[in-house]
Amino acid sequence: MKERTPKKSDKLNKRKYIRYKPDPGVFALIDFEADAGPFRPTFPALVLTESHQGCGLLIVDNKQLSVGSLIRVQVGNLPPMRAEIRWKEKLDSDATKIGLHFLDL
């Protein structure tokens, strides 16, 4: 059996889990209170990518959501879980992408 030669792209992808596209129109609901009582979402987001330990969301820009913030999020039909915002990328004056790492796994 011939051994596969590693590609340059293999070395560039440092992700632990594969990202995949969600079903069209999947939303996430965000609760800014990470540890307070029942889940009370007040902020919607569109799910861009999903993985085993997190997801990427498209949001209307919001100053409360900053890198390092702890929130609770319900992605599609999954139960609400705590998450940390790991990265934030402003797309224009209104739209921002954020990356979440799930903490309740």
- For 72-95, write each residue's pLDDT tens digit: 999 999 999 999 999 999 999 999
Provide CB contacts within 8 A for 67, sequence distance 6+.
85, 86, 87, 88
Angle at 73 (CA atoms; ends 12, 69), nearest 5 degrees: 70
Strand partners, 96: 59, 90
CB–CB of 86/76 below 8 Å? no
CA dist., res. 65 & res. 87, Å (int): 10
Statement: residue 103 has pLDDT above 70: yes
* pLDDT tens profile 10-50: 555 555 656 667 677 889 999 999 887 899 999 999 999 99
* 42 token code pair: 């007040």
Which amino acid is it at 71?
I
